[in-house]
Amino acid sequence: MTLPLLVVTAVAAEAEAVRAGADPDNVVVEPVGVGPAAAAAGTARLLATGRYRAVVSAGIAGGFPGRAPVGSIVLGARSIAADLGAETPDGFLPVDELGFGTSVLSCDPALLKALTAELPEAIVGDVVTLSTVTGTKRTADRLAESYPQAVAEAMEGYGVAVAAAGLPFAELRAISNPVGPRDRAAWRLREAFAALSTASGQLWTACG
């Protein structure tokens, strides 16, 4: 029996967008909650059944200006917990430098390669995971400087990657807004959800 692909999203609206494009016979889509902790716990619960061949964290995200424009699709090469660490007088220290593990988890190379082949217009780069969405230019600039390969920020990818625990993992995001000052009028949720649905149509082709 061929095991299905599990796609986890933060909220139901994202799950509906993925289901609108994904192969219903081979792709299971579940919302697991907002933030890395809820994402990790919800994903781990689903994967504990042993019923899935791979897991994808999917949804909408903010794109770093000049790297991932609104409406684009992003594939994560790495998922990075960008606020996991410690503050110091000299700035932020990631957990890696504290000697307490790693804040960087790579997506499965074979799965990423297959997704890139099926989604040739997708932008490949790092996706930073944050518990607090960026709302100022100062923070956006700091993140862009600290993570020069980052193309997007979201809130769940790193948590899902931790829960994958060796199972092939990837992160797929549709950009709904630029990273920076919160301006709801500039968000393009409808367009991002449409792009997410279109991209989701290629998930099983890449995974299968």
- Domain parsing of the chain, residue ranges: 5-207
pLDDT at 185: 78
In this prediction, residues 117-121 reach a mean pLDDT of 96
pLDDT at 5: 96
> Which residue type, as a one-letter code, is found at position 48?
A
State pTM to two decimals. Answer: 0.94
* Domain 5-207 in this protein, CATH class: alpha beta
In this prediction, residues 82-88 reach a mean pLDDT of 91
The strand pair at 150-154 and 123-129 is best described as parallel
Cβ atoms of 27 and 204 within 8 Å: the answer is yes
Q: Reduced to 3 states, what is the DSSP secondary structure of residue 148?
A: coil
Listed range (48-57, 59-68, 85-94, 137-146) with the worst mean pLDDT = 85-94
How far, in Å, CA of 8 to CA of 42, rounded? Answer: 9
Percentage of the residues of the chain whose pLDDT score is greater than 70: 100
| 60 phi and psi angles, rounded to 5 deg | -95, 165
